[in-house]
Amino acid sequence: MEEILIESQTVDYGDSNIITLEGLEHVRRRPGMYIGKLGDGTHVDDGIYVLLKEVLDNCIDEYRMGAGKAIDVRVKDGHVEVRDYGRGIPLGKMVEAVSIMNTGGKYDSKAFKKSVGLNGVGTKAVNALSATFIVQSFRDGQSRRAEFGQGKLLTDSEVFADNSDRGTFIYFVPDNTLFENYVYKEEYIETMLRNYAYLNTGLTINFNGKKILSKNGLTDLLNENMTAQPLYPIIHLKGEDIEIAFTHSDQYGEEYYSFVNGQHTTQGGTHQSAFREALARTIKEFYSKNMELADIRNGVIAAVSISVEEPIFESQTKTKLGSRDMAKDGISVNKFISDFLKKELDNYMHRNSETANTLLQKIQDSEKERKAIAGVTKLARERAKKVNLHNKKLRDCRVHFNDSLTKDEAKNLAIGNSSIFITEGDSASGSITKSRDVNTQAVFSLKGKPLNSYGLTKKVVYENEEFNLLQAALNIEDGVDNLRYNKVIVATDADVDGMHIRLLLITFFLQFFPDLIKKGHVHILQTPLFRVRSKKETFYCYSEEERLSAMVKVGSNPEITRFKGLGEISPDEFKHFIGKDMRLDQVTLKKEDAVADLLSFYMGKNTPERQVFIIDNLVVEKDI
């Protein structure tokens, strides 16, 4: 671990250092407190999607209160329009509702029961972080319209006659001085909207001319997201304030989709933990057998949605539920979910013996495999501890925490801001290690090519030293919830061997930790293929097209370098490629990807077929 020396210096501190931020200026100064991060739209958790979600949450709350059955969403060229048909913001307080912090109707639980946005921040943050923000409310034949720029009121109409349907219209354009070169990805937006539809059957969302709705709720969600075949029909249970759907597959690990009041809690929380425990305990009691809870949950794919009065989230972005009670003086979340499952799931299992028998066989198969690798697992854990990861394989990072943060907040901050580069060989890892931000970026060095893990059991994860140490470095043995880094970045050379290593690593994750990919943690680092320079200018090019364009800009006699290995790029240059402008391609996993067929063809034993495919698709690269 490198040491960082921070020069100490005394800074004057007087009256002039005391600053009062007016209006929404604090949001603009500290956007991370309100939307998590900025970003340019490349990743699903980038701020521009949070802005859209904050507006949509208000529309969903209207629907959940029985007002309006449709939402219109239009996103084009970075401009966003959202129109709901709810009750409409009260006209007299419309401007305050979108511009003054801690102002809103959701403090009144009678007006907004079991809603998502309870802190009076959401739409104000959208307003503050938008170059243009327009709000118009329609109520009882009247309307009012106001326009803002970077959170400051520009125009505000008087109340005027308007016979449009009741509801609220929001238009905003994210401020490109904050979200530099941002672009909305329709697939990310559509996934968000589909989740809203699954959780609100009867709601129709019109998105850029496409109609999105769900008839079967969480069953539709699982069918849309499962990338492995279910072993038995999805079990779908519904009650007041709770909906659950789950099945098992032959994939490793556990896969959960959890929601609170229609909000997708991507980091889980108390409700997801309660469901995991209650599900395993209920199944164990049904069979009256001495089962390990891990065997029961292995391969589970589940969705759980609950409604809570005045939910407490662990961050403004509402990705993790912290509430332990269903309401202020109500039953605990744990008991509520446990009691529901104990009754409804037990009844279901007694009525559906074929499903019960299939599930029992799955649990017994998991138990058999676990016992078969028990000895290997213990030795592997000991071996991983003996190997000094921090010196030999892993050059870890350290994230500076704010002293005012709680332990859990500090942990979430560390995970959210940290990444790990998986590199091949000492030269590549050396370049990245010397160039990285030691506070947030870790480096794991592979020794040679990883094993092709396709078709192998999880025993290989512990028997193979590289996989065992990588698993230990990521801290994912007991699931993705314990992942130490937000981004797992595969950084290999831009040559045939590098591509092969990349493929072997992705195969490993798909085989044993598919949720790592599904939750968007796995990325591919893109580094430049060429450097084109003259005495005055230098261009780094990521494609042949960029190289040709750079040659035109540079003029006659350019010096052209073809980078074939990461070790060829000097640490000083590498800083440009793993800094704030780092180019990452996120590895995604969807049902239509037909993962089982892809792995079978590309990583299986069908060598003759693959040879024919390679010959038919061979591209020869000419030296520059």
- Helix (H/G/I), strand (E/B), else coil: 207: strand
Single out the residue of 527, 515, 525, 520 nearest to residue 486, CA to CA. Answer: 520
Chain-centroid distance, C-alpha 322: 18
| Region(s) of the chain under CATH 3.30.230.10 | 218-363
Q: pLDDT band at 407, cuts 50/70/90?
A: low
Number of other residues whose CB lies within 10 A of the CB of residue 5: 5
Per-residue pLDDT tens over the stretch 301-342: 999 998 887 777 665 555 677 656 665 456 788 888 999 999
Homologous superfamily in CATH for domain 25-212: Histidine kinase-like ATPase, C-terminal domain (3.30.565.10)
pLDDT tens readout for residues 601-613? 667 777 777 677 7
CB 129 within 8 A of CB 28: yes
Burial of 278 (0-12, 13-18, 19+ CB in 10 A): buried
Label residues 173-183 b or e (16+ Cβ within 10 Å = b). bbbeebbeebe
In terms of pTM, does the model score above 0.85? no
Q: How far apart are CA 374 and CA 351, in angstroms?
A: 35
Q: Which residues in the chain are classed under CATH 3.30.565.10? A: 25-212
Region(s) of the chain under CATH 3.40.50.670:
374-527+564-616
Fold of 374-527+564-616: Rossmann fold (3.40.50)
Please give the Cα distance from 210 to 416 (Å, whole number). Answer: 33
pLDDT at 106 exceeding the cut of 70: no
3-state secondary structure of 496: helix
The radius of gyration of the chain's CA atoms, rounded to the nearest angstrom, is: 27
> Comparing C-alpha atoms, which of 342, 361, 364, 365 is closest to residue 353?
361
Q: Which tens digits make up the pLDDT trace of 239-262?
A: 888 999 999 998 888 889 988 887
CATH number for region 218-363:
3.30.230.10
